[in-house]
Amino acid sequence: MRDVAIISTAQSKHVRAASEVNEVELIQPVIQEAIERSGIGRHDFDFTCSGSSDYLAGQPFSFVMTLDAVAAWPPIAESHVEMDGAWALYEAWVKIQTGQADTALVYSYGKSSPGDLTRVLSRMMDSYYEAPLWPTSIDFAALQARAAIAAGVTSETEMAEIANRSRTSAGSNPLAQLTSSPSVEALLADEYLAEPLRKHDCPPITDGGVAVVLAADDKAREYCSRPAWIRGIDHRMDGHHITMRDLSVAPSIAIAAEKAGVGAGGFDVAELHACFTHQEPIIKAALGLGSDVDVNPSGGALSANPMMAAGLIRLAEVANRIHSGSVTRGVAHATGGHALQHNLVAVLEGEG
Amino acid sequence: MPEQATSGAGAPTASGDVLRAPLVLEYPFRRTTGPVIGAYFTGLREGRFVGIEDESGNVICPPVEYDPVSGGSLTKLVPVGSEGEVTLWTWNSRLSEGQPFDHPFAWAFIKLDGADTPVFHAVDAAHDQMSVGMRVRARFADERRGEMTDLVCFEPIS
């Protein structure tokens, strides 16, 4: 296996609605910043891969237009996933492993604000049995929270504590959208949004994007003083039908974690793509993380949840901390689909 | 250009410096449902449920085409009851277009008698009637066409 590292990252300021910019205008400065930080010339990338969703953009092949943001002339080797950018990073990592690229630019973005996001996300459901009823993403999250509480995985009090801790942590993240929280007691006094979820258990609706640069072996050492090496990365999926899963557990995370080498432990930090508060304990249990690991110091997806980017941001947040030298080893998790259906786990590590 | 964009109501409007225009996104596909999903919808049209036996002998309802563990093809359709038990529920008062009712209702997982996995659907009940373990029965539409909406909802067995 080739050693591959994240050598630079950049994110937009995450906001409720970036109405004044289109997707190209939103992501172009982010890509520019990640490229400049990497030190690699903008025409010198061997591969470019992006993640976004036509359902959010409201038109087919919308990512082709966003290629204007990377200057695709002279022609570049390029690909796209209709998934969170964490899977675009995975594709780029595979491309580098094959030896067809030494460097890659990966970016993803989502404007979640136009339209009714929870209805748009209902189109991810099975089109015969579930989607015709128009349940929202929050409804499925609520059923999962109910299952997690019934199984003793979490409680409404712990969920409020997670909301409070995440948004308080985001106070030191200048790019986060929600950066403070009422007290746990005040949160628990709120009415249910979708029993047992209250508003604080749900992520904000966020427009934003992220870009990262990958490089292999000596290229990574040449351009970065402390690369965030990808020691292991894997993604797995649970079943198609939400009714056939035990929603209180996430078997696909456990398998991905095992394949990525999470079992070796020793993590200083974990960035987990828990869009809803109750998902954090489910993910932690599947990863086997102890209470000594700093979880979501960025504030996580509960503080900024740009669709299609919030998963790649988890990898970027761990990488940033390795680049700065504040941590040595971290685990990042990204998810797609409803109720933690599809999951990616990566172990990142700095040297020295 | 769509007619809508040139008529009055749907025309682009300027709010501050932001240009806004209406957009209707549709994917108007028609699909055939095949021998497994089709059998479920045929059952609904006749006011009954079918499930499918997987390789370990569990009855999956609604039926699926492939074994959840091995991925092997499944073919053994079996009848399932029209009554069952709520295993998970949440209350929906954030009603939106296309949902089964225009009044608050519960979304639930309902394990039908004879099935090992639940169906997802609406329960038309008062909030204080809802509980895990409650018994419910299917309410079918008067006119049925062999599709998901033939099953209106579930309702409490009092």
**Number of structural domains chain B divides into:** 1
Does residue A243 form part of some domain? yes
Does residue B20 form part of some domain? no
Does residue A123 form part of some domain? no
Does residue B9 form part of some domain? no
Per-chain mean pLDDT for chain B: 90
CA distance A158 to A9: 32
Angstroms from A117 CA to nearest CA on chain B: 12
Between A61 and A159, whose confidence is greater? A159
Kindly state whether A147 is in contact with chain B, defined as any CB-CB distance less than 8 angstroms: yes
User: Do A144 and A13 share a structural domain?
Assistant: no
Per-chain mean pLDDT for chain A: 96
Residue A72, both tokens: 């695709």
pLDDT of residue B26: 72
User: What are the CA-CA distances from residue A59 to residues A87, A107, B24 (Å)?
Assistant: 21, 19, 10
Chain B residue numbers with beta carbons less than 8 Å from the beta carbon of A58 are 23, 25
**Number of structural domains chain A divides into:** 2
Q: Which helix (H) or strand (E) holds B133?
A: none
Burial class of B50 by CB neighbour count within 10 A (0 to 12, 13 to 18, 19+): buried
pLDDT-based confidence at B66, cuts 50/70/90? very high
Which residues numbered 227-256 in A keep a CB inside 8 Å of some CB on B?
239-244, 247
User: Do A328 and A316 share a structural domain?
Assistant: yes
Cβ within 8 Å, pair B89-A146: yes
Chain B residue numbers with beta carbons less than 8 Å from the beta carbon of A61 are none
Kindly state whether A18 is in contact with chain B, defined as any CB-CB distance less than 8 angstroms: no
Give me the mean pLDDT over the B66-76 stretch. Answer: 93
User: Do A42 and A149 share a structural domain?
Assistant: no
Burial class of A133 by CB neighbour count within 10 A (0 to 12, 13 to 18, 19+): buried
Domain that holds residue B112: 34-156
Does residue B70 form part of some domain? yes
User: Do A158 and A301 share a structural domain?
Assistant: yes
User: Do A343 and A269 share a structural domain?
Assistant: yes
Does residue A129 form part of some domain? no
Which one of B90, B99, B132 has the shortest CB-CB distance to A194?
B90
Kindly state whether A58 is in contact with chain B, defined as any CB-CB distance less than 8 angstroms: yes
User: Do A249 and A182 share a structural domain?
Assistant: yes
> Given a cut of 90, is residue A327 above it in pLDDT?
yes
Does residue A150 form part of some domain? yes
User: Do A211 and A84 share a structural domain?
Assistant: yes
SS3 B122: strand
User: Do A209 and A198 share a structural domain?
Assistant: no
User: Do A184 and A242 share a structural domain?
Assistant: yes
User: What are the CA-CA distances from residue B130 to residues A94, A293, B105 (Å)?
Assistant: 49, 39, 10
User: What are the CA-CA distances from residue B30 to residues A124, A240, B89 (Å)?
Assistant: 17, 21, 31
User: Do A47 and A153 share a structural domain?
Assistant: no
Does residue A119 form part of some domain? no
Give the contacts of B91 (CB within 8 A, at least 6 positions apart): A192, A194, A195, B104, B105, B106, B127, B130
Does residue A127 form part of some domain? no
Give the contacts of A240 (CB within 8 A, at least 6 positions apart): A126, B64
> Given a cut of 80, is residue B6 above it in pLDDT?
no
Give the contacts of A64 (CB within 8 A, at least 6 positions apart): none
pLDDT-based confidence at B127, cuts 50/70/90? very high
Kindly state whether B122 is in contact with chain A, defined as any CB-CB distance less than 8 angstroms: yes
Give me the mean pLDDT over the A114-134 stretch. Answer: 91
For the segment A171-220, what is each residue's pLDDT rounded down to a tens digit? 999 999 999 999 999 999 999 999 999 999 999 999 999 999 999 999 99
> Given a cut of 80, is residue B89 above it in pLDDT?
yes
- State whether the Cα torsion A221-A222-A227-A231 is positive or negative: negative
CA distance A178 to A167: 6
Give the contacts of A68 (CB within 8 A, at least 6 positions apart): A24, A28
Cβ within 8 Å, pair A133-B96: no
Cβ within 8 Å, pair B148-A146: no
Domain that holds residue A10: 4-112+205-227
Does residue B24 form part of some domain? no
For the segment B8-32, what is each residue's pLDDT rounded down to a tens digit? 445 666 667 788 888 777 767 777 8
pLDDT of residue B36: 96
Kindly state whether B89 is in contact with chain A, defined as any CB-CB distance less than 8 angstroms: yes
> Given a cut of 90, is residue B158 above it in pLDDT?
no
Report the share of chain A in percent with pLDDT over 90. Answer: 92
Does residue A294 form part of some domain? yes
> Given a cut of 50, is residue A73 above it in pLDDT?
yes
CA distance B109 to B47: 19
Does residue A122 form part of some domain? no
> Given a cut of 80, is residue A286 above it in pLDDT?
yes
User: Do A323 and A193 share a structural domain?
Assistant: yes
CATH number at residue A238: 3.40.47.10
Does residue B7 form part of some domain? no
> Given a cut of 70, is residue A300 above it in pLDDT?
yes
Does residue B2 form part of some domain? no
Between A59 and A168, whose confidence is greater? A168
pTM for the whole structure: 0.93
Residue A53, both tokens: 């969703």
Give me the mean pLDDT over the B134-155 stretch. Answer: 96
Residue B143, both tokens: 């006119």
For the segment A23-45, what is each residue's pLDDT rounded down to a tens digit? 999 999 999 999 999 999 999 99
Between A153 and A123, whose confidence is greater? A153
Kindly state whether B117 is in contact with chain A, defined as any CB-CB distance less than 8 angstroms: yes
Report the share of chain B in percent with pLDDT over 90. Answer: 75
pLDDT of residue A283: 98
Strand ranges, E, within chain B: 13-15, 18-20, 49-53, 59-60, 77-80, 83-92, 105-112, 119-123, 135-140, 151-156
Does residue B88 form part of some domain? yes
Residue A258, both tokens: 């095992």
Does residue B22 form part of some domain? no
For the segment A234-279, what is each residue's pLDDT rounded down to a tens digit? 999 998 899 999 999 999 999 999 999 999 999 999 999 999 999 9
User: Do A320 and A197 share a structural domain?
Assistant: yes
